[in-house]
Amino acid sequence: MPAQQGNGGPWGSGGGTPPDLEVLVRRGQDRLKQMLPGGGSRGVIFLGLLALVGLGLWTAYYTVPSDSVAVVQRFGKYLKDVPPGLHFKLPLGIDVATIVPVKRQLKQEFGFTTPGAGDPYQSPRDGKRETVMVTGDLNAALVEWVVQYRISDPVKFLFEVREPSETLRYVSESVMREVVGDRTVDEVITIGRQEIETEALAKMQELSTKYVMGISIDQVQLKNINPPQPVQESFNEVNQAQQEKEKLINEARRDYNKVIPLAEGEKDQRIREADGYRLKRINEAEGDAARFTALLTEYRKAPEVTRRRIYIETLQDVMPGIRSKIIIDEQTRSILPLLNLDARKVDQP
């Protein structure tokens, strides 16, 4: 239908009023036929081919991020691994490229949820069921933990195990229940955390290797570990009592370390003083004995000379301490003539 021209506008001479919808559709069809070569049916085929070519070009290229690789499948069969960068493949679903983040550290959380988690298996679907565990002494504990892992083999990760992330979650929960079940509740909550993390990591990696999951476990980290809510108050009271006990023990050890070393030091000092006094007396006795032996030897050689020498040496020691000295001749029978009995003042020795 040819386009109508008029004074009122491009749609005819109706005084500026637009024509009916049917008229608009017909005019659009006429213009499209004029633009396409060969008539209407050929034009539709041409448009289809053009759309097909555009879709093929659109699906023929893809980009692999720097922390990932692409696993290419052709008609569902594994073809190759593609490194990061811009690549091309057969379009229209002939080749399918699956991006696998092999250099990114992934994690799964158990018992709690991180806001905005992108991995559907990262956060728990039933956190309460996962965290409730029975310990080796038949007590209950709420255990929260995190598993950090990497995809070491993308081909095994995609094709060996169906839903490997979900399988890893089941493996992690099974291993953690086994490890916690071998220990008491006190060990799980207090001193056994690092040992539990190490043992759980080794067992998870062993099972991942056995199941050919293509996953490498980097770290298992325990988070919050609490008793069940009904017994939490009683458990806190027990913990407070244990802390008070440890406090008193530490204070007693502090006093012990303050008093006992001082007493031991005084004891060692007294022992050293006694040893010194003992050695002194022994040395003096040995010296006196040696001196007496030497005098006896000399006395036997010349008794008179030795006797006189001993007498003179004794007087040398005694005489300086005597104030008044009276020396008489051996012929004198009495010393009375030499004493002044009328003296009022007598020197005291």
DSSP code, position 3: P
CA distance 173 to 198: 15
| pLDDT interval class at 274 (50, 70, 90) | very high
| pLDDT interval class at 16 (50, 70, 90) | very low
Instruction: Tell me: pLDDT of 198 over 50.
Output: yes
Ranges 15-24, 154-163, 303-312, 329-338: which has the least confidence = 15-24
Top pLDDT among 53 and 265 is at 265
| pLDDT interval class at 64 (50, 70, 90) | very high
pLDDT for res 4? 38
Top pLDDT among 319 and 209 is at 209
Mean pLDDT across the chain: 80
> Span 291-295, mean pLDDT?
85
pLDDT for res 123? 53
Instruction: Tell me: pLDDT of 85 over 60.
Output: yes
Instruction: Tell me: pLDDT of 151 over 90.
Output: yes
pLDDT tens for 108-126 read 999 888 776 656 555 555 6
Instruction: Tell me: pLDDT of 158 over 90.
Output: yes
> Span 214-221, mean pLDDT?
94
pLDDT for res 279? 93
> Span 189-217, mean pLDDT?
93
Query: 228 near 132, Cβ under 8 Å?
Result: yes
Top pLDDT among 136 and 337 is at 136
Instruction: Tell me: pLDDT of 233 over 80.
Output: yes
pLDDT for res 9? 39
Query: 80 near 72, Cβ under 8 Å?
Result: yes
pLDDT for res 93? 80
Instruction: Tell me: pLDDT of 250 over 80.
Output: yes
Alpha helices in the chain (DSSP H): 21-35, 40-58, 127-131, 154-159, 164-181, 185-186, 193-210, 232-301, 303-318
| pLDDT interval class at 1 (50, 70, 90) | very low
Residue 177: CB atoms within 10 Å: 14
The proportion of the chain whose per-residue pLDDT surpasses 90, expressed as a percent, equals: 39
Contact residues for 246 (Cβ-Cβ < 8 A; gap 6+): none
Instruction: Tell me: pLDDT of 78 over 70.
Output: yes
What are the distances in angstroms from CA 231 to CA 111, 156, 245, 267, 301? 19, 45, 21, 53, 102
pLDDT for res 305? 80
